[in-house]
Structure 1
């Protein structure tokens, strides 16, 4: 697999790249690294383990649990639960380690493993590098009573749903919602949470069978949600991904409300109530230029990071900020969660609608999106994006666009490809520049 950890844990083809053996070794290595850092000092260590609905999650869960138990770590099995639910229970149960088995929005054959530190926060790069360094090392195995024990934590969904509902302050009665659960980890928790807060909910793609997760549904396939919202006359629709750490929205006419618009709405809500810390929101370099301009006009500063919610989280912690997110729909509200939470996002968008009496379309109108074109270029060497000829082509494009647009070229952290993103005053101009740069990428970075 090359470097084991990507931008969001370990991810790959289940039983191909990500095997039971690797899952076991990773959990053992994670236990050893945390033990060496003194995380287990003075008490018997506890880990919580959750997963999404993929069939491969069953054997990977068994492997992770076996590794942890063999390293002397007790395990509480959470079952099928969203990533933010695992993070929440890592914190509330006082666990030393959280493990989520999911490949998020990836197709069903893939799977992944995410580790969470005590408190429910994602591991930083240094700890992940230490875990990689510990893979396959010889170690002294505990025996007898020193090995770990496993138990089922049967109330995981109940506890997570109750937490979500407690974050809202205004009843959502009268709001009609269509909720696409992506046949994933939130298929039970998400409808229960929105109904518990008072909304009238129609759930679609909420009958997971282990094979249908993200299959033409969820946050990467919005056609069914858009059609359902219009057909049902709903006020709004929300689409989650496989592990429910992201959320996109659809207005009453079926128009998409993306992560930038969602972040702008929530920033306005927190600012108006005096709860937006330092009047600052954290976003990534992929955020639309229209979002940055709208926040500036509203008196809200924007801190931009590398792509990946882990980097958004790092910047939020470093600056003491309480709102951040990505265009993809990862939104982090650190007053209530330690990671992106799609259900939480949906609840607080609904609360903003209930408080203001405005539609999601009216709220999203706070920003105007510049046309943005993203071209994925597969089959190239993504380690050579510093190529001089490619750099010159990018500089020429940036001069051409001027203040009316921008160029962003980056290697994907989770897939074998290079992404070319261009914003311009017109979609046609953005497309022409993006296609031109994609051709240079193919020529210069060919394998």
Structure 2
């Protein structure tokens, strides 16, 4: 007997085909790598039956009729099963369709573990694995969309952070072939920090840029970021994440090849040093006087990444004393034990910290007046490290750096504008900016694209993320083009200048806390099934329930007044972030929010709040994090490997050779970068104390 979904899909086959000609595609299961088509109705019906409830199946006709009447304005790939479940849960059909669009991209481009295989879509959706053809299809889709939307015949800047460069450049070659397949010219910039790609584009009249990078992620992963007119693309729009995914998915499902068009070739771009120098001159002209007055020197940790080849050029251009560390490059060591990745989340390294990273150890023995700058693999994030006489080293993260920079620019240079931060930022930071600097503030979703690419960004003085993205508008000498891209090295140097100015005649370490901080703690769950964290899902409801129960416990323990309550806040740009505000009457005293990382295989639960309410805010966050533990996927090899190491080294410092030996003895075959990534995840979760 023919199942009902098959009959309905066959009935609508012609109209579904018409949608696909308009670049609106339907899939019963994107992980299958297939699209709904006239010849595949039976297969699609079987996939739907596996994924949707009986109540959801009954809504197929209603949902499809709504889609035919009001199709998306831009290309889109719609997960029909998710749309049906959302509709069955009570969402309007149009809203269910919108939130069930599929995109490869996370917070910052496409990322995944480097792998091999021909089933690109299955590998990506089921295992989080990326292969060169996936990036090639995404690049081809990006170029097609740019050409259709009044971008003239293109040169396309292509850069990378080094992880692909030393292993045959399979990803770079695939992307450049895809660009040529669309009749365009790739400009090969080689290894170049991400923020210097918009600089090259502005100086050379190139509108499109592609960067192969997984940023701060371990070396066993790679990714790709897209720029148009100097800004990262957003999820929605004619040239957007959803549109790129739709076209690329269609290309891959149809096994399209990306052969270079006749007459096209690869251009060689300029050396990185010139671009680094140009950016440094534009960003810091007249803004290093206090660094010079105090005679400051810098130790710059380039994390074996893209700035390794050109940080020296920027520092020499500015005439600042420096030493570069972790600058040797092999592609396999990017971010390993170095840079922002190992420092993030630490406010202070104490003298007896056994697992302190190299830059901290160097600073302890460096001459007085030496500061540290830690970057990430692609150079768009940066921290400043400030040593104290007793051996402690303070970390200035994005929150502190941005406040220092804003205060310096407002008070010293008469600047004005909006101060934008993300939900990850310290709530006390926004209060301090408004009270001390009288600047308007804006709260954005996680991702520097929301600080640089939205219409609101045009009025910004600074946009910042706690993680070290600090976006300060940059106008290059000789051009009128404003660049909005986080540059870890330059924002760190501006922060150091602001610190020296604010400290005056006092020691630098006296000014490392420029505002009274609030509650900031983050709990991580790695190796998860992110698809289970969706609005109204069982996991979502469990976390909400845990928050409300913990809030009532806090009231019962007299940690909060009886008037305290919790309310969900919806962010349009991140609808599957569970953001719960904790309030006393109309006053916000804290926020506990849960979101799936768009760049790593993890779920994070964040606690942010007023210092006076630290205990109840952390109580609620602990409860949410405990509930979020259900999202860990025990089927994943990494989760199983984590269990093996936890049983032997939980709460201890782990040596890398011992971890390799234990995993090999347990039958795990993991590469050195994969073991590094596993140990890093365990460290972030607090399962182990350190790695040596």
1:309 aligns with one of 437, 444, 448: 448
Q: Is the 8 A contact 2:547 2:623 kept in 1?
A: no
Q: Is the 8 A contact 1:262 1:364 kept in 2?
A: no
* Structure number, greater radius of gyration: 2
RCO greater where, 1 or 2, for CA within 8 Å and sep 6 or more? 1
TM-fit CA distance, 1:410: 1.8
Residue 186 of structure 1 aligns to a residue whose secondary structure is helix
Q: Is the 8 A contact 1:51 1:185 kept in 2?
A: yes
Aligned partners of 1:352 and 1:144: how far apart in 2?
51
Counterpart of 2:386 in structure 1 is 251
Counterpart of 1:361 in structure 2 is 509
The answer to whether residue 612 in structure 2 is matched with residue 423 in structure 1 is no
1:111 aligns with one of 218, 222, 235: 222
Q: How does 1:84-99 map to 2 (within 5 A)?
A: 84-99=195-210
The answer to whether residue 495 in structure 2 is matched with residue 349 in structure 1 is yes
Residue 329 of structure 2 aligns to a residue whose secondary structure is coil
Counterpart of 1:6 in structure 2 is 106
Residue 103 of structure 1 aligns to a residue whose secondary structure is coil
Deviations 1:213-263 (A, max 9, x none): 100100011322222112113431110000000001111221111111011
Q: Is the 8 A contact 2:219 2:332 kept in 1?
A: yes
Residue 628 of structure 2 aligns to a residue whose secondary structure is helix
The answer to whether residue 567 in structure 2 is matched with residue 394 in structure 1 is no
Q: How does 1:290-305 map to 2 (within 5 A)?
A: 290-298=428-436, 299-305=438-444
Higher mean C-alpha deviation, range 49-58 or range 396-405: 396-405
Counterpart of 2:359 in structure 1 is 225
Deviations 1:293-340 (A, max 9, x none): 221321233211111111122456455113111000000001343211
Aligned partners of 1:286 and 1:197: how far apart in 2?
32
Counterpart of 1:384 in structure 2 is 534
Change (3 A) 1:354 1:288: closer
Residue 295 of structure 1 aligns to a residue whose secondary structure is helix
TM-fit CA distance, 1:15: 2.6
Counterpart of 1:438 in structure 2 is 625
The answer to whether residue 427 in structure 2 is matched with residue 289 in structure 1 is yes
Q: How does 1:175-190 map to 2 (within 5 A)?
A: 175-190=296-311
Q: Please list every run of 5 or more consecutive structure 1 residues that lacks an aligned counterpart in the other structure.
A: none
Counterpart of 2:653 in structure 1 is none
Change (3 A) 1:397 1:269: farther
Q: Please list every run of 5 or more consecutive structure 2 residues that lacks an aligned counterpart in the other structure.
A: 1-30, 32-101, 117-128, 344-356, 476-482, 555-559, 561-583, 635-692
Change (3 A) 1:355 1:443: closer
Change (3 A) 1:163 1:376: same
Aligned partners of 2:608 and 2:456: how far apart in 1?
29
Aligned partners of 1:101 and 1:122: how far apart in 2?
13
Aligned partners of 2:371 and 2:593: how far apart in 1?
32
Q: Is the 8 A contact 1:324 1:333 kept in 2?
A: yes
Aligned partners of 1:57 and 1:269: how far apart in 2?
45
Higher mean C-alpha deviation, range 393-402 or range 135-144: 135-144
Higher mean C-alpha deviation, range 325-334 or range 219-228: 219-228
Residue 420 of structure 1 aligns to a residue whose secondary structure is strand
Residue 104 of structure 1 aligns to a residue whose secondary structure is coil
The answer to whether residue 128 in structure 2 is matched with residue 15 in structure 1 is no
Report how many residues are paired. Answer: 441
Change (3 A) 1:335 1:347: same
Q: Is the 8 A contact 1:181 1:218 kept in 2?
A: yes
Aligned partners of 1:283 and 1:153: how far apart in 2?
34
Aligned partners of 1:385 and 1:410: how far apart in 2?
11
Deviations 1:127-148 (A, max 9, x none): 2211111114478999875x42
1:102 aligns with one of 175, 190, 213: 213
Aligned partners of 1:51 and 1:219: how far apart in 2?
18
Deviations 1:62-116 (A, max 9, x none): 1111110121111211111100011211222111310100000000010101010
